[in-house]
Amino acid sequence: MPKFPPAIQELADKFNRFPGIGAKTAERFVFYLLGQPRQDLEKISSLIATLKDKVTLCSVCFNFSDQDPCPICSDAARNRSVICVIAKPQDLAVIENTGEYSGLYHVLGGNLNAIKGIVPEKIRIKELIRRVAEDGGLKEIIIATNHDLEGETTALYLLKTLKPSRLKITRLARGLPMGSDLEYADEITVSSALKERKEIR
């Protein structure tokens, strides 16, 4: 006998494919939805159905947006001499939230990963090269890919590829995160924090 009616099981199977969601949590989602008012389910349903129509990729920076170019690329008040290169759109939100950055972005759409077959042609590196070549006012590229194997590989590849451009190329600082305890920090982080220590008087 099947555990649940087909309508529950089918939806749970779909939720099960969501990132990080196991079979039990997927079932919990369906039971949660069963407890919600009908109009809420209709709202969620229509948001999902129209998602891809309402969200497009900005043809300049490749961030998800509801207009093209996106509000950031078309904002005259932004500093157009610097591009921050990030792996995915979520990273953009994190940098925007700091309020410390007013330049432009370039979303690669992933990091290089030889094992997963993500070669340079699969992420938006040539689009970045084109932006760099076409934009004479550009002064700096900030490489903000993750500080892990894939992110570092991507950063190294970008550094090599962008070398002929004579632009200033920077990377987000490595060090101890705010609120961290030295005792539990890993050796690479502490070693980076030591190497890049800052004079304070």
Residues that bind its own copies (CB under 8 A): 1, 3-8, 10-11, 14, 18-20, 25, 27-34, 38, 40-52, 54-55, 64-66, 71-72, 88-90, 93, 96-97
CA-CA distance, 98 to 137, in Å (whole number)? 25
What is the closest distance, in whole angstroms, from the C-beta atom of residue 99 to its own copies in the complex?
10
What is the closest distance, in whole angstroms, from the C-beta atom of residue 197 to its own copies in the complex?
31
Nearer to its own copies, 93 or 190 (CB): 93
What is the closest distance, in whole angstroms, from the C-beta atom of residue 78 to its own copies in the complex?
10
Under a CB-based contact definition with an 8 Å cutoff, are residues 148 and 155 in contact?
no
Query: What is the residue-wise DSSP string for 93-140?
Result: HHHHHHT---SEEEE-SS--BTTTTB-GGGTTHHHHHHHHHH-TT--E
Nearer to its own copies, 34 or 176 (CB): 34
What is the closest distance, in whole angstroms, from the C-beta atom of residue 31 to its own copies in the complex?
6
Nearer to its own copies, 105 or 157 (CB): 105
How distant is the alpha carbon of residue 151 from its chain centre? 11
Which DSSP state fits 72?
T
Nearer to its own copies, 38 or 166 (CB): 38
CA-CA distance, 171 to 148, in Å (whole number)? 13
